Structure 1
Amino acid sequence: MIHGAVPLLQDYLIHSAVRLGGKIALVAGKQRVTYAEIDERSDRIAHFLAAAGVERGDRVMIFADNTVETVVSFWAVLKANAVVCIVNPLTKSEKLHYLLNDCLPAALITDSHLHSIFCQPSRDCHSLRAVIVSGTINEAEFNRLPHAVRWDTIVDRPSVAPPRKSIDIDLAAIVYTSGSTGEPKGVMLTHGNMTAACTSIASYLELREDEVILNVLPLAFDYGLYQMIMAFRTGARLVLERSFAFPAQILQVIKDEQITGFPGVPTIFAALAELRSLKSNDFASIRYVTNTAAALPLKQIAMLRELFSGARIYSMYGLTECKRCSYLPPDDLGRKPLSVGIAIPNTEVWIVDESGRRVGPGVVGQLVVRGATVMKGYWGKPEATARKLKPGPLPGEQVLYTGDYCRMDAEGYLYFVGRGDEIIKSRGEKVAPKEVESVLMDVPGVKEAAVIGVPDDLLGQAVKAFVVIEQGRIVGERQLLMECRKRLENFMVPKTIVIVPSLPMTDTGKLKKAALS
């Protein structure tokens, strides 16, 4: 870190490499890489990018799996004073074409096994000055790529990082939202946004240098990406897996690597709980567990407390547009199990009505977030930005209108009600899917539940529920409807309940309601 300079994101790696150069920073499959090796390799990639014409503020897209190369590339782009954009490797060719032509990157870093996906989109993207390909690719395919260079030829060259030019208000990353309700939007995050988020989250998680953090989430997903960033900030070790497709294999990794930190989402924890080989001491090394992407139902909270009996369990809530809004201190899990907690350090949150006026405790309204983590805006979409970023209470500032509905209790604890675009309007009443889902999840034998609104000539929208039953259990639609009628107001009771074998999920393990009908 340069003396007197404001810290930038890449300083996390540089500083840890100086202090802990020989320490294993990253475990990815059979590869074990030190901080010094990642620092040196990222210098070489950064030097190449600068030599290829990548300038300050240019975007560089990384289209790859959770690999050593992806981690190295992330830091290299920042060292080149550029803006990093990681894209999920499950992305299809048509969507990749859209993303390339939306952010117009100066370079693309990718892997040969994705050639059939990126070949044509990269040829159609005229902003590219370099396409860096790792892995084995035949000469004919390689030669059809624009400005192509092989990864191995770059990392074999001696070099130093380009001169530092960025400052903390410069963009560090563009993270694309899933686009489930329309075309993907690129969330613009500055170095200041991201270092503020890391500082806040690391403080309440009480991260230590001896942490061994498991990440099975895509690095293209901000929840997964921040696991890597915070590990490198702390000088911890990151154990990187490509997915959670094989839970038994992940369980072995937890034992072998003595994992201390386990970030997950409800689908991951539910899959773990179904492993019949689990023993009480399988998770003895784990000190903390985090959950985000959805508020946990009571049944899953009980499951987590049983699975990770010796760990601190954090229920959290946030959006890509501000990284994290709130967290529930582990000591409060027993008395406020359905809350997503209080504002994270250095952040303020409040609830407003449809006129933008603050409301009191217990009133449902839109959540507003104020703090250093709030995004700069959506890349190339000023109208969408204006709908989210609005003047704050102090002159000259902007705050984030999340579009999410929440309520706050008298102690300042938040309760997530629903995404704004998910609220169902039935019989002139507003129905929060989360409330109906919580009732369904409390029925013994129910594994998962999802509720949506469907067009109805009489009601405007009718409430429709999709339910997954635990293996070996028998639960019928009539029983589920009876439970709903007992506990819900009439207008909230589903008109239809469908029992399904599984629910559609996004690549990041979130429920994909857009695929339900």
Structure 2
Amino acid sequence: MRIEHYLRESAERDGAKTAIVAGDVRLSYDRLLDLAARMATTLQRHGVARGDRVLILLDNGWQAAVTVFATWMAGAVICSVNPSSKGPRLSQIARDCTPAIIATENRLEGLVEATAGLSAIPRLVTGDGRSFQAGLEAEPFAADILPDTDLAALIYTSGSTGEPKGVMLAHENMDAAARSIASYLENTAADTILVVLPMSFGYGLNQLVTAMLTGATLVIEKSFAFPQAIFEKIRDERVTGFPLVPAMAAMMMQARDLDPSLFVSLRYMTSAAAPLPLAHLDRMRAFLPHVRLYVMYGQTECTRATFLPPEEIDARRGSVGIAIPGARAAVVDDAGLPVPPGTVGELVISGPNVMRGYWRKEAATCKALRPDPDTGAIRLHTGDLFTADADGYLTFVARTDDIIKPRGEKVAPKAVEDVLHRMPGIAEALVVGVPHDVLGEAVKAIVVASDPALTERDVMRFCARNLEDHMVPKVVEFRAFLPKTESGKASRRLAAQTATLTGSNA
């Protein structure tokens, strides 16, 4: 099914129900459908045709939701970019996707004008809520019947190289992922889902898509910059679903005198985008024992790959679960053949949720999408190292290119990070490899301390008590914060760019 049909069907079921809450604005399903249909006409009048790319440069908000569905109604492809993106990245993406139009807002016009290659592209400026609605065509869009094999989204991810790559997701890919996720989360129209994650990225966008699929209410917040305000919003809107990333979990657990009554309405929480440290997981479960916590793994290239049923958390410590319904997961060797349980190999994913490829990047596509040597079926090679137990439950080990090799011994950064997150006084931590004259490569810990008295020696001693000798960091650097990607994920690549062999206080 095409994704815009989710909105039409939910409006037909209960058009008066609240679809979107964003600040003081509340849109019913009928109103959201009307705005999206009239904006689709507006896009068409501006020359947007089937298959064209619409570059969406908007903050999280109801205007972004309208623009996304309007683009799909017009038969076009969304290319959402985080408004915090700097000019060079924005310019790279625009050159790559060649948008027919840019949908943006007043405060970002200066950025568009100053970014190479953007000023000549037609723009649709949303303005504030009133002017946005006034600028739409009066007539709703008369949609053609279009196939779900059409491209729906180009979602740009930097990966390990830093070069933007446009992940091509068709409507059928997004539909398969959304239905699978909604099934194991047991989403229904009774849910109220909070999204503070950027909807320009897969994890945030999926909250919008899943809400519209199930007829739920979506509460949209711009960011997690003011956690207490977000927690109060959860209470006031009686939110039932709260997706987060590990950095948000860390901030939540650091909050002083946090009142658990703010979260009484929560039915579930999800964690994706990066591995959730076990220490954070344990604290969250102890703090909110009534909440079902889903640990998940995914990539933009497949939206979601695995989930751990909450009832398996204690029995499967550290696991990210099994393949989502409708998908298949396997751990394979360099030849693409399955490895025995407990053996480290690369995770491969197959199923209808897997991307079409990378936009205009044939070599990268061929590297990521390869045939199963036994069946010939195309699989996504994730580039991530995993193990699987005898029951197929998967555990993340490391990114292939993140492995550190002091004196040839292999160290997975996550194994060291898990220990660091257990240490009292550490809020967040990343581990990277740095050059070393004797070892060849040394383990370096980059730490955000919640205890100002914590020292490099304290950290090394704690690690020495809990890790094998070759895994103990040789250098500890204290920082005020960890570098994050635009999606809010702590970035080992960005941290490694500034890593040195000398510890420092920041």
Taking structure 2 as the reference length, the TM-score comes to 0.94
Partners in 2 of 1:492 and 1:356 — Cα distance? Answer: 29
Q: Where do residues 409-428 of structure 1 align in structure 2 (5 Å cutoff)?
A: 409-428=389-408
Partners in 2 of 1:412 and 1:397 — Cα distance? Answer: 20
- Secondary structure at the aligned position of 1:431 is classed as coil
The alpha-carbon deviation at position 301 of structure 1 amounts to 1.1
- Secondary structure at the aligned position of 1:41 is classed as helix
Partners in 1 of 2:144 and 2:289 — Cα distance? Answer: 46
AA at the equivalent of 1:183:
E
Q: Which one of the candidate residues 257, 260, 273 is aligned to 1:280?
A: 260
- Map of 2:124 onto structure 1: 132
1:108 is aligned to 2:77:
no
The alpha-carbon deviation at position 460 of structure 1 amounts to 2.6
- Map of 1:481 onto structure 2: 460
- Secondary structure at the aligned position of 2:262 is classed as coil
Q: Unaligned 5+ residue runs, structure 2? A: 500-506
The alpha-carbon deviation at position 504 of structure 1 amounts to 1.5
- Map of 1:147 onto structure 2: none
CA deviation profile, 1:4-50 (whole Å, cap 9, x unmatched): xxx21111011111111111110001111111111111111111222
- Map of 1:163 onto structure 2: 143
- Secondary structure at the aligned position of 2:225 is classed as coil
Contact 1:185 1:379 in 2 (8 A): yes
- Secondary structure at the aligned position of 1:430 is classed as coil
AA at the equivalent of 1:81:
G
The alpha-carbon deviation at position 119 of structure 1 amounts to 1.7
The alpha-carbon deviation at position 423 of structure 1 amounts to 1.4
CA deviation profile, 1:119-158 (whole Å, cap 9, x unmatched): 24486465x4x31001169xxxxxxxxxxxx744432x32
Partners in 2 of 1:45 and 1:241 — Cα distance? Answer: 22
- Map of 2:272 onto structure 1: 292
1:172 is aligned to 2:152:
yes
Q: Where do residues 11-30 of structure 1 align in structure 2 (5 Å cutoff)?
A: 11-30=5-24
1:245 is aligned to 2:239:
no
Q: Given the superposition, is the C-alpha separation of residues 122 and 504 from structure 1 closer, same or farther in structure 2, using an over 3 Å criterion?
A: closer
CA deviation profile, 1:458-507 (whole Å, cap 9, x unmatched): 333211111222246x4322232223233323322222122323212222
Contact 1:101 1:125 in 2 (8 A): no
1:496 is aligned to 2:475:
yes
Contact 2:112 2:119 in 1 (8 A): no
Partners in 2 of 1:357 and 1:279 — Cα distance? Answer: 50
- Map of 1:154 onto structure 2: 135
- Secondary structure at the aligned position of 1:478 is classed as helix
AA at the equivalent of 1:192:
E
The alpha-carbon deviation at position 422 of structure 1 amounts to 1.3
The alpha-carbon deviation at position 337 of structure 1 amounts to 2.7
Q: Where do residues 257-406 of structure 1 align in structure 2 (5 Å cutoff)?
A: 257-392=237-372, 397-406=377-386
The alpha-carbon deviation at position 180 of structure 1 amounts to 5.2
Partners in 2 of 1:166 and 1:374 — Cα distance? Answer: 21
Contact 1:378 1:384 in 2 (8 A): yes
Contact 1:58 1:82 in 2 (8 A): yes
Partners in 2 of 1:394 and 1:42 — Cα distance? Answer: 46
AA at the equivalent of 1:36:
D
- Map of 1:141 onto structure 2: none
AA at the equivalent of 2:2:
L
- Secondary structure at the aligned position of 1:227 is classed as helix
1:69 is aligned to 2:63:
yes
The alpha-carbon deviation at position 410 of structure 1 amounts to 1.4
The alpha-carbon deviation at position 444 of structure 1 amounts to 2.3
1:435 is aligned to 2:429:
no
The alpha-carbon deviation at position 431 of structure 1 amounts to 1.4
- Once the two structures are overlaid, the 10-residue window that deviates more, 175-184 or 253-262, is 175-184
Contact 1:441 1:449 in 2 (8 A): yes
Q: Which one of the candidate residues 190, 197, 222 is aligned to 2:202?
A: 222
Partners in 2 of 1:486 and 1:272 — Cα distance? Answer: 28
Q: Given the superposition, is the C-alpha separation of residues 349 and 471 from structure 1 closer, same or farther in structure 2, using an over 3 Å criterion?
A: same
The alpha-carbon deviation at position 110 of structure 1 amounts to 0.5
CA deviation profile, 1:266-307 (whole Å, cap 9, x unmatched): 111221223324223221100001001222222111111123
- Map of 1:80 onto structure 2: 74
Partners in 2 of 1:163 and 1:394 — Cα distance? Answer: 43
Contact 1:62 1:108 in 2 (8 A): yes
Partners in 2 of 1:496 and 1:121 — Cα distance? Answer: 40
The alpha-carbon deviation at position 344 of structure 1 amounts to 0.6
AA at the equivalent of 2:96:
D
Q: Given the superposition, is the C-alpha separation of residues 19 and 29 from structure 1 closer, same or farther in structure 2, using an over 3 Å criterion?
A: same
AA at the equivalent of 2:77:
V
Contact 1:45 1:76 in 2 (8 A): yes
- Secondary structure at the aligned position of 1:84 is classed as strand
- Map of 2:38 onto structure 1: 44
CA deviation profile, 1:385-432 (whole Å, cap 9, x unmatched): 111000125655311000001111111111101112211222122211
Contact 2:151 2:170 in 1 (8 A): yes
Partners in 2 of 1:50 and 1:397 — Cα distance? Answer: 38
The alpha-carbon deviation at position 357 of structure 1 amounts to 2.3
Paired residue total? 495
Partners in 1 of 2:425 and 2:215 — Cα distance? Answer: 43
Partners in 1 of 2:385 and 2:450 — Cα distance? Answer: 30
Partners in 2 of 1:56 and 1:109 — Cα distance? Answer: 17
Partners in 2 of 1:165 and 1:54 — Cα distance? Answer: 17
Contact 2:336 2:373 in 1 (8 A): no
Partners in 2 of 1:90 and 1:382 — Cα distance? Answer: 29
Partners in 1 of 2:147 and 2:35 — Cα distance? Answer: 23
- Secondary structure at the aligned position of 1:282 is classed as helix
Q: Given the superposition, is the C-alpha separation of residues 396 and 167 from structure 1 closer, same or farther in structure 2, using an over 3 Å criterion?
A: farther
Partners in 2 of 1:22 and 1:443 — Cα distance? Answer: 50
Partners in 2 of 1:263 and 1:115 — Cα distance? Answer: 31
Q: Structure 1 vs Structure 2: percent identity of aligned residues?
A: 45
- Secondary structure at the aligned position of 2:259 is classed as coil
Partners in 1 of 2:123 and 2:374 — Cα distance? Answer: 45
Taking structure 1 as the reference length, the TM-score comes to 0.92
The alpha-carbon deviation at position 178 of structure 1 amounts to 3.5
